[in-house]
Amino acid sequence: MQANIVTIPGDGIGVEVVAEGVKVLKAVAEKYGHMFTFENYLIGGCAIDATGEPLPAVTLDACRQADAVLMGAVGGPKWSDPSAKVRPEQGLLAIRKELGLYANLRPVQIFPQLRDASPLRPERLEGVDLVVVRELTGGIYFGERKEATGEDLSAYDTMVYSAPEIERIARRAFELARLRRNKVTSVDKANVLACSRLWRKTVVKVAGDYPDVELDHMLVDAAAMHLMRRPSDFDIILTGNMFGDILTDEASQLAGSMGMLASASLGEGKAGLYEPIHGSAPDITGMGIANPLATILSVGLLLRYSLGLGEEANAVEKAVADTLEAGYRTKDIYTEGAKLVNTEEMGTVVVGKL
């Protein structure tokens, strides 16, 4: 098949890990006889430096026309002033909103080879295989807000959800559950927040169309605790924008590192945006030690969801597993006796296994 893939590496280690993702995509194209073309554009801090905007119009236009988008990360100390009117994170929020990418899928899979890299005891990792389905274009990140200015030391951010927004992300979660273990855990804060009470009511209504899927509800603070105590109980975690952001960072510790978790951001069509869940990591930028496996696993999601290439996606995921089985590790997941490699070497090993 032919596909046009836009890459937006962004800032920091985003540039380094996206390069390895592209390397894997080129290897897939060669192995399976596909024709992938790549176009590179700016987002985040580097875009601010070059154009004054965190999401230039030319980047957004290219992403709209692409079959899929592979992204790195945005931000860094140079642009970290929270009072600045233009910030890298605005580009990230804008591209999700403008492309209508309301569903963020974040799989959490435990590779047996990395059990020693997790801070949890190995027995607690038995059977862990879950997906966080995070609503991505609503909630507190997009609600009305007021900055503290001058002598007025008050500020607010507003969490807003409509029933249709909740319904469409809930249907994504239930449909995905039907392909897995038929269980959805909806996470909210319904004991305190009116917005969460609407969330719970709407999810219950949607559940009526999926009698074969078990639904339970959990408050977000309890969910955070149970992710550490009994993570194997979860199949699909359905939650809002901010709660999903926090819980998936916590869940990365089950896998041993944020460098191991991929994500897919999807809308109504096949096109989507794929990225590792980690940030730009300015403390290790340019050192060649960033873990590219989350980006490479995101490539697997890209192949599966946007290009419909399930066999190729499985091959990428198996290549990652085979690489770990062979003992190769970047610094973040290194344990004594493993084969320590840098970012580029890890990508090359995966391509070899592929």
Summarize pLDDT for 287-303 with one digit per residue, the tens. Answer: 999 999 999 999 999 99
pTM of the model: 0.93
DSSP character at residue 16: H
Residue 320 and residue 296 in contact, taking contact as beta carbons nearer than 8 Å: yes
Find the domain containing 167 and state its range: 119-144+155-255
Catalytic residue among 102, 141, 210, 274: 141
CATH code, domain carrying 11: 3.40.718.10
Q: Which secondary-structure segment (H or E) carries 65?
A: helix 57-65
The verdict on 176 and 251 lying in the same domain is: yes
Which residue out of 49, 81, 221, 283 is catalytically annotated? Answer: 221
CB proximity list for 219: less than 8 A, separation 6 or greater: 187, 188, 189, 190, 191
10 Å CB burial of residue 28 (0-12, 13-18, 19+) is buried
**96 and 4 in a common domain:** yes
Set 129, 233, 249, 322: catalytic member: 249
Say how far apart CA 247 and CA 253 lie, in whole Å. 10
pLDDT of residue 170: 98
Residues 206 and 235 reside in one and the same domain: yes
Distances (CA, A) of 165 to 100, 199, 228, 241, 267: 11, 9, 29, 11, 12
Look at the chain and report how many structural domains it folds into: 2
Give catalytic status of residue 67 as yes or no: no
Verify whether residue 245 is a known catalytic residue: yes
What CA–CA distance (Å, rounded) separates 91 from 96?
A: 9
Same domain for 248 and 274, yes or no, is no
β-strand pairing of 35-40 with 262-266: unpaired
Give the mean pLDDT of 193-200.
98
- Last residue in a domain, options 255, 279, 313: 255
Which of 255, 278, 313 terminates a domain? The answer is: 255
Instruction: Compute the average pLDDT of residues 56-74.
Output: 98
Within a domain: residue 227?
Answer: yes
Which residue of the set 189, 235, 274, 353 is catalytic? 189
Place of tokens 């966080």: 132
In a shared domain, residues 128 and 244: yes
Is pLDDT of 147 > 90?
no
Q: Is residue 65 part of a domain?
A: yes
Tell me, yes or no, if 141 is annotated catalytic.
yes
The pLDDT value given to residue 10: 98
Annotated active-site residue in 245, 328, 332, 353: 245
Among 255, 287, 305, residue at a domain's last position: 255
Q: Give the per-residue pLDDT at 18.
A: 98
